[in-house]
Structures are given as structure tokens and as C-alpha cells.
């Protein structure tokens, strides 16, 4: 790693964005921050601009950009170019002096800029699993066609990538790897009596036992839809069949996933639950550098447990398998319905257990069709959102 690389961080103000800036700031000779983006949190973005002095800052929310522009103009970083609107995300993700793009927007909103980065042949550091799940083969094809490098940031997929054979590239099929053991913490409700689940609150659902994350992924971890999305993500990134992916509940979150080889060798990647580890791995790849994470204290870990997931407790896992088996637009529908249902749960509109009900009804309401173009995917995403919103209203009837 000699030349300083330019990085664009999509979703800079979120949990992954903040961790990325923390790691990047430890290696100023290796990374220069070119662009930072936020949706609405202009206070956090302003502080990040003062500290990291990017060339560009994007505020997606057009209502907030004017005040932000004035604040930047009056500051010591008045030369930063300010853009706004969703299109600006694609613009900064494809700038000529951007080498790497951290895709850390949450949800489907991250698809177009992440795809634009892939089409432009950038090194794409993918945290935004929803973008990949909803667009599937189209995203992977864009990576192959442009020669982009796609590096997983999701801790499990980063772990799997680290356990794959040397020189392995995402998207390739590795005949030596016969199975992936995808670990999951089981979330905050792993042992809650099933009868208590309908009454769990958003505050309880976002209180993850091991990881500190954004609200949406925290709810997804509680329902285990996160693991369902990650199973689909793993099939795409590692070119495997759903049957080759075994989900393993491992409540200590020390092993971040494993690869089972044809000779019976199982390789695992371990570390503290700190997203700076996979972020630093991807940023330094193929070398290594410091992440700021604490070294793993194996004596404090003391023991590791493993159990099979209970599909009755976690119906979202079953729905994710149904979606990937149905194929076509169904993973897009699954993802969109989940986004709507989780938002409604966080807003106090529906119960925790209704999340899976909405997704299942939405998947039943929309017939499967091939997902062969981006337009078909975007249309299926919109259709599933509209259907899910209607379903929210009729839940108790
Ligand atoms: P977060 O909610 O903390 O941050 C989301 C970021 O996206 C913010 O910067 C926000 O401004 C931006 N954003 C939200 N809506 C937007 C929109 N409509 N347009 C443009 N920008 C928008 O989320 P997070 O926890 O950092 O997660 C980000 C992504 O990374 C998710 O896809 C998540 O699944 C994935 N991920 C997160 C973690 C984690 O530890 N947090 C781990 C693995 C994967
Ligand atoms: Mg994960």
C-alpha cells in the first residue's frame, strides 16, 4: 500500500460510517477522505467535515441542505463542495479520485449509489446488505463486468472471505469449500418465552446483547431477518447454494463465521465484536493494519456455545429461505416488506410479531417473476412497499 487512496463513505453518519472514519483516521498516509454523505443528520456531518475535510459532502435531504451550506461557508472548511439529493450519491461514488467506496447506507436507498460504484469499477466495501439482496445477480454481474473489487464488511461475510482460499475473489465458486457455517448471536430474544414476544417494545428489540448498531439492523437481528438477509448475501458473494449455508447460533459472537472444506478442515475467524475489525481488514486488503479494536481475551471468552436456529421462534428465517428458493423478484419483495414492517414497528404502529406476518402476506400477494433488469427490481421494490403499507392497516382484521 503505497499510494494514498481516495475514499467515499456513503452513510458516513451511521454506525458503520463512524467506525470507518475512526479506522481511516488512524492511517492518514493511506487514505484521503474524498466524500462523505448523510441523509438528515447534518450536525454529525458538519463535525465530520471539520475533522476529515473531504472535498465533497452530500446532504440527501434537500430541506436541510441550505442551512448546512451556510454553516460550512462560515467555517474553516468553507471550500468543501456541498451537493444534495439522491443523485448526488451516485456522483460522489463515481468521482475519478475515489478508489474505494464504503457502501454504508441502510436499506434499499443504498442500491443505486452502490451499484454505480460497482459499475465504475471501484473497490466496493459492502456493508449495505439490502442493496445486494434486492438486486442479486445484477449487482454481481456489474462487479464482474467492470472488474470492480467487492469486499464484504458484514462481519460474517468478511470472516468467510478471510477463511476462503488465498487469492479468492468474491463471486467465484470455490469447489474446495463445501459449506459455510454462518454464525448468529440469536439477538435479545433468543430465550424469551414465545408468549412474551408480541409485547416486546422497540427499545427492547434494539438493545442487542453484543453489537452496537443502527436501529434497523438491530431489529433485524432480533427477528433474525438479518441472518436471513445474510444467508442470501452469502449465496451471492460466495457463489453457493442455500443448502450449503448452515446458520449456527453462537451467543458469544466471538467466531464470526466458518468455512468447511472438502477435506474436513473448518476454518473460523475470531475477534471481539467490533466492526472496525472487518472494516480495517477490507481497507488494508490484501495487507493488514491496526483497527483500534481491543485484542481478543480468550480467557474472558472462556467458552463458546453453538445451537441450531428455531424457525418457529424466528419465522423471518423461514421466509428468507422461501424467498431465495422462489428466486426472481422474491428476495427484493422480502427485503422491501421487511423495511416497511420494521419501520412500522419502530414507529409503534405494529407489534414485534407482526413484522413476519406482514412480510409473509406480502410475499404471498406478489407473484414471482424473473428479476432480469434493474427496472424490474426497482418496480418490485416499489410494489412490495405499497402492498406492505396496505397490509399494515389490515393487520388485526
Ligand atoms: P445507521 O442507521 O446507523 O446509518 C445509516 C446511514 O445511512 C446514515 O449515515 C444515514 O444518514 C444514511 N441513510 C439513511 N437513509 C438514507 C437515505 N434514504 N438516503 C441516503 N442515506 C441514507 O445504519 P448502520 O448500522 O450503520 O448500517 C448501515 C448498513 O450496514 C446497513 O445496511 C446494515 O445492515 C449494514 N451493517 C451494519 C452493521 C453494524 O454494526 N452497524 C454490521 C453489518 C452490516
Ligand atoms: Mg452481520
Q: Which of 325, 155, 327 is nearest to 243 (CA)?
A: 325
Instruction: For residue 43, give the 3-state DSSP assignment.
Output: helix
Q: Find the ligand nearest to 253 CA.
A: 2
Spacing, Cα 122 to ligand 1 middle (Å): 20
Cβ neighbour number for residue 175 with a 10 Å cutoff: 6
Decide if 124 contacts 143 (C-beta within 8 A). Answer: yes
Is the beta carbon of 41 within 6 A of some atom in ligand 1? Answer: yes
Q: Which atom of ligand 1 is nearest to the CA of 218?
A: 25
CA of 179 to the centre of ligand 1 (A): 29
Please report the atom of ligand 1 found closest to the CA of residue 216: 2
Note the pLDDT of residue 2.
58
Q: How far is the CA of 168 from the centre of ligand 2 (A)?
A: 20
**Closest residue CA from atom 7 of ligand 1:** 105
Residue 152 beta carbon below 6 angstroms from any ligand 1 atom: no
pLDDT at 212: 83
- The DSSP secondary-structure symbol of 175 reads T
- Report the side by side order of strands in the sheet with 123-126: 81-84, 56-59, 31-38, 5-10, 100-103, 123-126, 149-152
For residue 12, the CA-to-ligand 1 centroid distance in Å is 8
pTM of the model: 0.97
Ligand nearest to the CA of 224: 2
Q: Is any atom of ligand 1 closer than 6 Å to the C-beta of 93?
A: no
* Tens place of pLDDT per residue across the chain (397 aa): 558 999 999 999 999 999 999 999 999 999 999 999 999 999 999 999 999 999 999 999 999 999 999 999 999 999 999 999 999 999 999 999 999 999 999 999 999 999 999 999 999 999 999 999 999 999 999 999 999 999 999 999 999 999 999 999 999 999 999 999 999 999 999 999 999 999 999 999 999 888 789 999 999 999 999 999 999 999 999 999 999 999 999 999 999 999 999 999 999 999 999 999 999 999 999 999 999 999 999 999 999 999 999 999 999 999 999 999 999 999 999 999 999 999 999 999 999 999 999 999 999 999 999 999 999 999 999 999 999 999 999 887 4
Do residues 266 and 172 touch, judged by C-beta distance below 8 A? no
Determine which residue's CA is closest to atom 22 belonging to ligand 1. Answer: 39
> Residues 316, 309: contact at Cβ < 8 Å?
no
Backbone φ, ψ for residue 297 (5° rounding): -95, 95
State the first-to-last Cα distance of the chain, in angstroms, to the nearest integer. 60
Residue 14 beta carbon below 6 angstroms from any ligand 1 atom: yes
Domains and CATH numbers, the chain: 5-152 (3.40.50.720)
Ligand 1 pocket, residue 57 CB under 6 Å: no
Cβ(219) to ligand 1 under 6 A? no
Q: Please check whether residue 256 is in contact with residue 155, taking contact to mean a CB–CB distance below 8 angstroms.
A: yes
Element (H, E) at 153: none
Phi–psi pair at 7, nearest 5 degrees: -125, 140
Write down the pLDDT at residue 209.
Answer: 81
Is 121 a pocket residue for ligand 1 (Cβ < 6 Å)? no
Amino acid at each position: 500500500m503505497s499510494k494514498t487512496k481516495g475514499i467515499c463513505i456513503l452513510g458516513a453518519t451511521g454506525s458503520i460510517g463512524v467506525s470507518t472514519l475512526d479506522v481511516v483516521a488512524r492511517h492518514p498516509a493511506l487514505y484521503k477522505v474524498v466524500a462523505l454523505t448523510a441523509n438528515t443528520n447534518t450536525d454529525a456531518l458538519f463535525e465530520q467535515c471539520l475533522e476529515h475535510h473531504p472535498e465533497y459532502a452530500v446532504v440527501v435531504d434537500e430541506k436541510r441542505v441550505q442551512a448546512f451550506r451556510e454553516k460550512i461557508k462560515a467555517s474553516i472548511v468553507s471550500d468543501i463542495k456541498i451537493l444534495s439529493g439522491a443523485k448526488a450519491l451516485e456522483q460522489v461514488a463515481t468521482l475519478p479520485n475515489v478508489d474505494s467506496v464504503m457502501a454504508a447506507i441502510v436499506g434499499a436507498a443504498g442500491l443505486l449509489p452502490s451499484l454505480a460504484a460497482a459499475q465504475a469499477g471501484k473497490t466496493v466495501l459492502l456493508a449495505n446488505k439490502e442493496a445486494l439482496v434486492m438486486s442479486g445477480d445484477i449487482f454481481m454481474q456489474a462487479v464482474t463486468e467492470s472488474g470492480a473489487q467487492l469486499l464484504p464488511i458484514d462481519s460474517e461475510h468478511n470472516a468467510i472471505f478471510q477463511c476462503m482460499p488465498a487469492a479468492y475473489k468474491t463471486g467465484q465458486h470455490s469447489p474446495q469449500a463445501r459449506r459455510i457455517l454462518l454464525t448468529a448471536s440469536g439477538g435479545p430474544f433468543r430465550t424469551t418465552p414465545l408468549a412474551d414476544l408480541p409485547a416486546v417494545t422497540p427499545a427492547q428489540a434494539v438493545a442487542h446483547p453484543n453489537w452496537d448498531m443502527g436501529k434497523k439492523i438491530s431489529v433485524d437481528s432480533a427477528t433474525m431477518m438479518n441472518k436471513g438477509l445474510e444467508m442470501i448475501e452469502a449465496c451471492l458473494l460466495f457463489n453457493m447454494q442455500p443448502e450449503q449455508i448452515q446458520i449456527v447460533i453462537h451467543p458469544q459472537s466471538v467466531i464470526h463465521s466458518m468455512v468447511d472444506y472438502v477435506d474436513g478442515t473448518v476454518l473460523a475467524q475470531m475477534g471481539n465484536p467490533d466492526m472496525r475489525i472487518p472494516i480495517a481488514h477490507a481497507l488494508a486488503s490484501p495487507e493488514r493494519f491496526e483497527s483500534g479494536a481491543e485484542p481478543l481475551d480468550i480467557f474472558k471468552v472462556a467458552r463458546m456455545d453453538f445451537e441450531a436456529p428455531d424457525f418457529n421462534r424466528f419465522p423471518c428465517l423461514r421466509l428468507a429461505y422461501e424467498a431465495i428458493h422462489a428466486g426472481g423478484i422474491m428476495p427484493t419483495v422480502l427485503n422491501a416488506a421487511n423495511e416497511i414492517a420494521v419501520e412500522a414497528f419502530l414507529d409503534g404502529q405494529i407489534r414485534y410479531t407482526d413484522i413476519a406476518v406482514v412480510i409473509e402476506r406480502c410475499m404471498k400477494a406478489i407473484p414471482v417473476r424473473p428479476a432480469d433488469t434493474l427496472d424490474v427490481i426497482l418496480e418490485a421494490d416499489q410494489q412490495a412497499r405499497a402492498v406492505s403499507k396496505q397490509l399494515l392497516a389490515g393487520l388485526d382484521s
